[in-house]
Amino acid sequence: MSGAPQRVVATAPGKINLSLRVGAADERGYHALATVFQAVDLLETVEARLPQVPGALTLTVDSRVRGDVPVDATNLALRAAALLRAETGTTQGAALHITKRVPVAGGMGGGSADAAAALVALNRLWQLGLSDRELMLLGAGLGADVPFAVLGGTALGTGNGDQLQRVPAPAPLTWLLCAPGGHLATPEVFRAFDALAAQADAQPPRTPRADQHQLAALAAGDREAIARSLANELHEPAVHLRPDLQEILSALREHGALGAIVSGSGPTLAALVRDAQHGEEVSARVREDRGDLECTLTRSSPYGARIVAVD
Ligand code: ATP
């Protein structure tokens, strides 16, 4: 269609960290990471319309998951909009509407996905013409997971997780995601990581190294080897703060998951399963003991933030 769009809808994926190695914190308290991100097809949707009042920026949220989502200026989608305006000098406004499906404060980067989808939608609505690369650089200023939510697929993240390199991962993977309720604040999990390292007199490396075995397993599409390589150095601090996570992980493995990990800083748990039917079986068995678990089946996704409708 020609002319300026009135409405743009974009989606962006939640993520799992297939491996997460944590290094020392810098003077700002940000930790160096080496992590393999994988996008899943559990999507956030951001609709951006031209507002009735020119220049106004507003937000509404329709959440399909538990947990509180801020609707004020601290919401990452609104912060993305404000950043785009500041960087480009545009004074255009937007009415944003988020449909949330990624668990809130669950370690799956849901807020970052909202920021990424907002950047992509507003770039089109406001006809700014920024490239994905430019949006990723801008997004890094909002949060370390935002660039990955723009890129999607499977990628190695270094720096604070914002320096990305795509990695080959040809085999589609099926994941059973279990949200045990409650939240874990990412900064709190990193503080527990630091405290546990100090207690053990351990010195995290300045620059953690990527897990080469995992990269090789992904490139080969070897599910069993991928399952064996799943590892998260935030596991210990997350379990320290939420001991019940360990029981659920053990139950997922006992009930047949190929592998299971805490996703990012938790508390969502990600279990690798053979296919949807296998995932349903594992889910039913685990939920016999823990009926309060919200489990969802999803698959790895090659996509990052992308536009799905323009009117
Ligand atoms: P991380 O990217 O650190 O893994 P997470 O997935 O654990 O984050 P999010 O759902 O992104 O957690 O939200 C973390 C916090 O950010 C929330 O507790 C909330 O206060 C705030 N927040 C800001 N904007 C959003 C948003 N659009 N959706 C959800 N939370 C948001």
146 and 71 in a common domain: yes
54 and 11 in a common domain: yes
In the set 15, 114, 162, 211, the catalytic residue is: 15
Average pLDDT for the chain:
95
For ligand 1, whether the C-beta of 76 sits within 6 Å is yes
In this predicted structure, the answer to whether residue 1 has a pLDDT above a threshold of 60 is no
For ligand 1, whether the C-beta of 13 sits within 6 Å is no
159 and 22 in a common domain: yes
| pTM (global) more than 0.80 | yes
What is the Cα–Cα distance from 25 to 236, expressed in whole angstroms?
Answer: 17
248 and 281 in a common domain: yes
**What is the phi-psi region of residue 259: left when phi exceeds 0, alpha when psi lies from -120 to 50, beta otherwise?**
beta
Backbone angles phi, psi at 11, to 5 degrees: -115, 155
Ligand 1 centroid–CA 265 distance in Å is 11
Which burial class, exposed, middle or buried, applies to 156 when counting CB atoms under 10 A from its CB (0-12, 13-18, 19+)? buried
For ligand 1, whether the C-beta of 107 sits within 6 Å is yes
- The answer as to whether 2 is a domain residue is no
Total tally of structural domains belonging to the chain: 2
Residue closest via CA to ligand 1's atom 25 equals 111
Active site residue 211: no
- The answer as to whether 196 is a domain residue is yes
For ligand 1, whether the C-beta of 70 sits within 6 Å is yes
For ligand 1, whether the C-beta of 32 sits within 6 Å is no
Residue closest via CA to ligand 1's atom 29 equals 111
Active site residue 100: no
Instruction: Give the domain extent around 18.
Output: 7-168+301-310
For ligand 1, whether the C-beta of 44 sits within 6 Å is no
The ipTM assigned to this model is 0.93
Ligand 1 centroid–CA 223 distance in Å is 30
**What is the phi-psi region of residue 75: left when phi exceeds 0, alpha when psi lies from -120 to 50, beta otherwise?**
beta
Q: What is the mean pLDDT of residues 86-101?
A: 97
Which of 76, 78, 100 for mutating ligand 1's site (highest number of atoms within 8 Å of CB)? 76
The pLDDT score that the predictor gives to residue 104 is 87
Tens of pLDDT, residues 235-254: 999 999 999 999 999 999 99
Tens of pLDDT, residues 271-296: 999 999 999 999 999 999 888 899 99
73 and 211 in a common domain: no
- The answer as to whether 1 is a domain residue is no
139 and 28 in a common domain: yes
92 and 16 in a common domain: yes
- The answer as to whether 72 is a domain residue is yes
Backbone angles phi, psi at 262, to 5 degrees: -70, 135
Ligand 1 centroid–CA 72 distance in Å is 13
The pLDDT score that the predictor gives to residue 2 is 57
Tens of pLDDT, residues 15-56: 999 999 999 988 888 899 999 999 999 999 999 999 999 999
- The answer as to whether 164 is a domain residue is yes
The pLDDT score that the predictor gives to residue 29 is 83
What is the Cα–Cα distance from 224 to 245, expressed in whole angstroms?
Answer: 23
What is the Cα–Cα distance from 169 to 171, expressed in whole angstroms?
Answer: 6
Q: Where are the alpha helices (DSSP H) in 32-155?
A: 76-88, 110-125, 132-140, 146-151
155 and 54 in a common domain: yes
196 and 53 in a common domain: no
CA 125, chain centre distance (Å): 24
Cβ partners under 8 Å of residue 86, min gap 6:
none
In this predicted structure, the answer to whether residue 106 has a pLDDT above a threshold of 90 is no
Which of 66, 69, 96 for mutating ligand 1's site (highest number of atoms within 8 Å of CB)? 69
- Nearest-atom index, ligand 1, CA of 79: 24
Report yes or no: 248 and 290 within 8 Å, Cβ to Cβ.
yes
Tens of pLDDT, residues 171-227: 999 999 999 988 899 999 999 999 999 999 888 899 999 999 999 999 999 999 999
The pLDDT score that the predictor gives to residue 236 is 96
Residue 50, domain CATH: 3.30.230.10
265 and 130 in a common domain: no
In the set 114, 132, 145, 211, the catalytic residue is: 145
- The answer as to whether 108 is a domain residue is yes
